Amino acid sequence: MPLEPSAVRRRRSSSLIYTEPAESFEQLTDQSALPNLNSQWVNAKGAWVIHFVLIFVLKIVFDIMPWISQETSWTMTNITYMCGSYLMFHYVRGVPFDFNAGAYDNLNMWEQIDNGEQYTPAKKFLLSVPIILFLISTHYTHYDLSYFVINLVATLTVVIPKLPQFHRLRIGLFTDPPEDR
């Protein structure tokens, strides 16, 4: 007795690492049909400035809390920026707009920027901001070992997925391939 397609489920991968397959011809055609509004803003005027504005605002918010020391304020600024950056660029897949027929459903925003090309000016900038914030935060925490380790781990969780070796690579608990549509 054959099973219905809805009753057949894909087995859960036993590996913590999953590599996204290359796009099909249909996906490539859909991607080239319309511009990707999800990732074009990265190359727009003022898009780079917003990162420094966000870091500045985060620093002020943590500074106005009287129970937080300067060292903790810098570390919290670093952690908050890194969590937001990871969530925005590496965790969420697809496009929030419903005009591209699901052409980018398997790609996170980092993979969508500049059509996946590496070492473009935008990607160099987005890679350098976490590193610069890490250097600033470790300087202002006076190179204390515990703050250094916390800042380093937060920075590495954002910098490592940006490296070309990790392009289209998913690591973690949510590495199952998306269900077929």
Domain spans, the chain: 38-171
Residues of the chain where predicted confidence (pLDDT) is lower than 70: 1-15, 33, 99-101, 172-181
Is the pTM higher than 0.85? The answer reads no
pLDDT-above-90 percentage for the chain: 47
- How far apart are alpha carbons 13 and 177 in whole angstroms? 8
pLDDT in tens, 22-59: 777 777 777 776 777 778 888 888 899 999 999 999 99
Three-state DSSP string of 28-50: HHHHHHCCCHHHHHHHCCCCCHH
Which stretches within the chain are classed as H helix? 25-33, 37-40, 49-63, 70-86, 109-112, 121-140, 145-159
pLDDT at res. 148: 97
- How far apart are alpha carbons 88 and 110 in whole angstroms? 9
